[in-house]
Amino acid sequence: MNSPKRTILIRTVGDPRIGMGHVYRSLGLVKELETEFNVLLDINNIPQVRALVEEQGVRYFADKSVVGVIESEKVDLLLFDQLRDDDGLFEALKTRFPYLKIVALDYFNYDSEFIDVIINLFNQNLQKSKPDKNCVRYYEGLEYAIIREEFQNYVSQAKRIAERVSSVLVSFGGVDAKGNTSKVLQLLEMAGFPDIKIEVILGPLWTGELPQVIAPNIHLHYSIPPSAMPSFMTEADLAFCGAGITMMELLSLGTPAIVLPQNLLEERFALSVEQKGAIKVIKDDAQHDDIGYICSLFTSPRERERLSYKGKSLVDGKGMERIKRLIVVLFSEGVNS
């Protein structure tokens, strides 16, 4: 007789400050995990977040007591994906539900003993390289990057590197709080390639400003469906983005990327990827050398090919499979075996 499926609750948020990246990747994890588990979402009550989750047909709870949800739904594992500390939640949950397993993504409180597994793309804890407690399993690296199902058919394809750049993608997620979209359009104007097609993706929570005059070669796209993003990224010869989900997706496709970090966490992460030779980082004040590098990329297929190769070697699109395997092992071995 088969044992009943375990139940996993994924707790995630999206809003005008942090964008929708965590919601998108949590939805990707739902699809990966639901073949073996019952998977529920716990989200914040923002209309855009609810609409996205409902569109995917995932059962969810919005602004509900996580304690109540875990109790009523008999949740076996909480997957925490919020890029923040838990503020004592894990201790409260472990006290109330000792059997509950807790897995956190991009989580940097290495002092906590009330967590079973931490999975980070990059260590943002400036004092410690890993958790203090031996009972906490720790995994780190770009091999755990979550690349959504929509991209999987494209990841295996070889990236075509053109002699000259003819298509540029500009995408800074759902918010672009720093106005990097406008900044990139100004940089491209300064670079002086008016015949290049520029595709600009503006997310559902985008509130930034654009130049007063939009050149004929600039095409604006508002709130495109997630399924359309892989083709935009694949067809681009070069992309500009922040150091988040979009950067990971571009790396997996082999599309050369210039990254403008949108906060300090993104900057540290982006610089670590740049050190591996996979991207070019431009900080707040673009220097003359930065503009020169951008110009050189337009006519240097060899440099774009180098970035493309490095990116695909770092992000292979199998991050969700690896996370799923860790969860399966956690259930099979017990909490602290």
Closest CA to 232 of 206, 204, 199: 199
First-last CA distance in the chain: 26
pLDDT at 217: 93
CATH number, domain of 56, equals 3.40.50.11190
Digit-by-digit pLDDT tens for the chain (337 residues) are 456 899 999 999 887 677 788 898 999 999 999 999 999 999 999 888 898 899 889 999 998 999 999 999 999 999 999 888 999 999 999 999 999 999 999 999 999 999 999 999 999 999 999 998 889 999 999 999 999 888 989 999 999 999 999 999 999 877 787 889 998 998 888 888 888 999 999 977 777 778 888 889 999 998 788 889 999 999 999 999 999 999 999 999 999 999 999 889 999 999 999 999 999 999 877 667 788 888 899 999 999 999 999 999 999 999 999 999 999 999 997 544 3
Question: Cα dist. 226→28, 51, 115, 172 in Å?
Answer: 11, 13, 32, 14
pLDDT at 337: 37
Predicted TM-score of the model (pTM): 0.92
Same domain, 178 and 299: yes
pLDDT at 190: 84
Same domain, 118 and 158: no
Q: Is 36 inside a domain boundary?
A: yes
Question: Cα dist. 116→99, 106, 119 in Å?
Answer: 11, 14, 10
Same domain, 244 and 301: yes
Q: Which residue has the tokens 């959504």?
A: 148
Task: Spell out the residues 6+ positions from residue 16 whose beta carbon is closer than 8 angstroms to its own.
Answer: 175, 177, 205, 207
pLDDT at 139: 97
CATH number, domain of 297, equals 3.40.50.2000
Same domain, 125 and 244: no
Identify residue 69 by its one-letter amino acid code: V
- Rounded to 5 degrees, φ, ψ at 104 are -125, 140
Beta bridge partners of 219: 199
Same domain, 74 and 208: no
Cβ of 147: how many Cβ atoms within 10 Å? 24
Q: Is 1 inside a domain boundary?
A: no
Q: Is 93 inside a domain boundary?
A: yes
Identify residue 286 by its one-letter amino acid code: A
pLDDT at 286: 66
- Residue 234, domain extent: 150-314
Number of domains, the chain: 2
pLDDT at 287: 66
Q: Is 2 inside a domain boundary?
A: no
